[in-house]
Every structure is written in C-alpha cells, then in structure tokens.
C-alpha cells in the first residue's frame, strides 16, 4: 500500500497543468495526513477551506456547493492567501443576499 507521501506526490502529478483536481475521500485523508496545515477557515456555507503546504508547494483545498473536494496548487503563499480571501469575501456577499455564486471551475 502506498504511503501518504506517495499518494500526495501522485495527486500533484495529476494536478500539474490543471486548474484544479477533484479528490476522493481517501485522497483527502492522505493529503491532510501528509501536508502541513497553514490556515483553515469555515466558509459558513460549504465547509472548510484550507491552505496546506507540502514540500514547499502551496495548496488550497475546498469543498464545492455539491460537496466535491477540490485541490488547487499555487506558486506562492501570498497567491494562495489571496485566493482564500477572495473566496471568503464572496461567501460573505452571498450571506448578505447579493445573488452571486462561487464559480468553482474558474
């Protein structure tokens, strides 16, 4: 059986060149076991959004409104932090009734 690190390395290979990667439950568990949690926020709508670091790579894991788990890679921590802040701002506006939605495919 593959170790968590091997499973995460495979996820990162699959993520290369893609905007995001859909994860299954076991993949998420392996990622969370192997990566370092830098930030975790409750969106108040779809669950937690997390900033993770794995061997110098910055990753954001979020849940969609359909319960899918998505993983994105960022070149640096500030870029990942900006992404999280933008998501949280959108969720705040949604709570205020703006009628906006998160485009998870973006």
Q: For CA atoms 4, 38, 71, 80, give the dihedral sign.
A: negative
Q: What is the pLDDT of residues 22-78, one digit of tens each?
A: 999 999 999 999 999 999 999 888 889 999 999 999 999 999 989 999 999 999 999
Tell me the whole-structure pTM to 2 decimals: 0.90
Confidence of residue 1 (pLDDT cuts 50, 70, 90): low
Q: What is the dihedral of CA 53, 16, 13, 33, to 10 degrees?
A: 20
């Amino acid at each position: 059986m593959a170790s968590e690190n091997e499973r995460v390395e495979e996820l990162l290979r699959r993520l290369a060149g893609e905007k995001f990667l859909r994860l299954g439950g076991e993949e998420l568990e392996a990622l969370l076991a192997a990566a370092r949690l830098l930030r975790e926020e409750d969106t108040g709508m779809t669950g937690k959004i997390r900033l993770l670091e794995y061997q110098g790579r910055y990753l954001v894991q979020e849940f969609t409104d359909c319960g899918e788990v998505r993983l994105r890679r960022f070149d640096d921590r500030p870029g990942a932090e900006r992404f999280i802040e933008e998501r949280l701002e959108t969720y705040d506006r949604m709570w205020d009734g703006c009628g906006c939605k998160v485009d998870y495919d973006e």
